[in-house]
Amino acid sequence: DAIKEAQRSIIRVTEFATAHELADLMGVTPKEIIQHCFTMGKFVTINQRLDKETIELVSLEFGFEAEFVSEVEATEVVELEDNEEDLVIRPPVVTIMGHVDHGKTSLLDYIRSSNVVAGESGGITQHIGAYEVSLDGDRKITFLDTPGHEAFTAMRARGAQVTDIVILVVSADDSVMPQTIEAINHSKAAEVPIVVAINKIDKPEANPEKIKTQLSEAGVLVEDWGGEYQCQEISAKQGTGIDELMEKVLTEAEIRELKANFSREVPARGIIVEAELDKGKGVVSTVLVQRGFLKVGDPFVAGHTMGRVRALMDERGKRIREAGPSQPVSVLGFEDLPQSGDEFTVMLSDKEAREIAQKRQIIRREHEFRRSTRVKLDSIARQIKEGLMKELSVIIKADTDGSIQALADGLMKIQNEEVKVQIIHQGVGQITETDVLLAAASDAIIIGFRVRPNVNAKKLAEKEDLDVRFYSVIYHVIEDIEQALEGMLSPEL
Ligand code: GDP
């Protein structure tokens, strides 16, 4: 059996693939899938979308293991191998992180305004979400213009890693703060190297040594103390130490030997950094090119949308004909708004780009439709009657351990012939995004007992259309669940 297990090949499939799609992936006929479903007591047609469990079982039966991927991943454009001779050193892409008010924006602004290319009239005038600066000796650095780790992590959650180096800003007149620690943890989790910038050294009360001590306690031992992290004292306000900081970033980049394919023959690829709808121009989106050269006229697919490059503009507002690796460029020509973190890929033809985008849209719509049939407390009685539900999964978040215990005891006592209540997660504290994701993934309802969701969790619960209920009396929870199981609960308004 162990050998069988090891031999099983993996198929990358979306959560609600059709019998037809699944058959194609496994190289069998749809008829075989339908017949197999029939033996499991399920009647399906060729274009009917299956559920996760069925896909899992059916693939196992045919000797495959299903790996569930998003519609974008499932329709990803096959990557070509880069030719070794096309790989050339590219500029590093840098994100500035740190605690609020420690000087992230000031640093970005200083670098932006000081970088006036010789012979050109203007510096960087446009906020396109990223900009590239030129240093002595034809060296360049690309900065992502959104400071902080939220954007960084949001992109990473979508599978896009664009940052090569993090500049961690810590104010010398303050301390290592919670967001400093978060920035360190996020960078380390992403395995992105950190260069420390101790800011505001112009202030009389600045105490860089204290900051270094605190950083070492947070797992960041700086170089002059024998550690591996480069560190520079700066003043983002007066410009002190900024050149040195840039040198250190470039040294870090050299160690990493960051390379990209600079061939003009390969179709360009990049990541969406930012996108917005402009009244006059339509969709304007910034793409950070990662491979090849993006040119005017190129057809492309980006996330669930597509288009053809109508115009390219740099961060100085100048129209350009092409953009190469590590170069951020503002692109016109999208049919619809992409999302930051979406992959952007040049295709051979409009037709090909449209086919992929349409396929992704169709699958997304189907998924949304499926997700809209989530478990709701007020409709579970009907689902029980129809035999659709045998277990009610519940997540409990409460103010104290005592409350959780009392609730759990109460819920366990609820007796119903058809359905049992299952507590899949419980904890003290606010309802968080992780709770909501867990509920969405396991079709559970969330009970908040004398606690509320945080802002992000609330938004996510709305988006995922999840049933979150709030109580402050234990008896009311038990009563609601009991009534729901008997079909007497009226919908939450
Ligand atoms: P952010 O929240 O990290 O983006 O911080 P900001 O860049 O907005 O800076 C917060 C405050 O610190 C502002 O009032 C800045 O003027 C000030 N500041 C930033 N850098 C320096 C510096 O090097 N020296 C001094 N004295 N003040 C600074």
- What is the predicted ipTM? 0.99
Asked if residue 493 has pLDDT above 50, the reply is: no
Pocket test for ligand 1, best of 101, 104, 144 (most atoms within 8 A of CB): 101
Helix (H) or strand (E) holding 447: strand 445-449
- Ligand 1 pocket (Cβ < 6 Å) reads 98, 100-106, 147, 199-200, 202-203, 235-237
Atom index in ligand 1 nearest the CA of residue 235 equals 23
Q: Smallest Cα–Cα separation from 95: which of 222, 195, 189?
A: 195
Mean pLDDT of 130-153: 85
- 361-406 residue pLDDT tens: 887 777 666 655 566 666 666 666 666 666 788 889 999 888 888 8
Measured CA to CA, the distance from residue 225 to residue 80 in angstroms comes to: 44
- 146-178 residue pLDDT tens: 877 777 777 776 677 899 999 999 999 999 998
Pairing label, strands 93-98, 165-171: parallel
| Centre of ligand 1 from the C-alpha of residue 106, in Å | 6
In this prediction, residue 34 has a pLDDT band, given cuts at 50, 70 and 90, of confident
- 179-211 residue pLDDT tens: 899 889 888 888 899 999 999 999 999 999 999
| Centre of ligand 1 from the C-alpha of residue 93, in Å | 23
Mean pLDDT of 99-120: 83
Measured CA to CA, the distance from residue 337 to residue 133 in angstroms comes to: 28
Q: Smallest Cα–Cα separation from 183: which of 161, 151, 221?
A: 151
* Average pLDDT of the chain to the nearest whole number: 86
The CA radius of gyration of the chain, in Å to the nearest whole number, is 27
Q: Which residues of 238-264 are buried (b: 16+ CB within 10 A; e: fewer)?
A: eebbbeebbebbbebbeeeebebbbbe
More confident residue, 414 or 276: 276
| Cβ within 8 Å of residue 375, ≥6 positions away | 383, 389, 392, 393, 443, 444, 445, 467
Given a contact cutoff of 8 angstroms between Cβ atoms, the answer to whether 477 and 411 are in contact is: yes
Q: How many CA atoms lie within 13 A of 487 on its CB side?
A: 8
Pocket test for ligand 1, best of 95, 102, 105, 106 (most atoms within 8 A of CB): 106
In this prediction, residue 462 has a pLDDT band, given cuts at 50, 70 and 90, of confident
| Centre of ligand 1 from the C-alpha of residue 411, in Å | 53
More confident residue, 390 or 3: 390
SS3 65: strand
Given a contact cutoff of 8 angstroms between Cβ atoms, the answer to whether 118 and 137 are in contact is: no
For residue 37, what pLDDT is reported?
A: 84
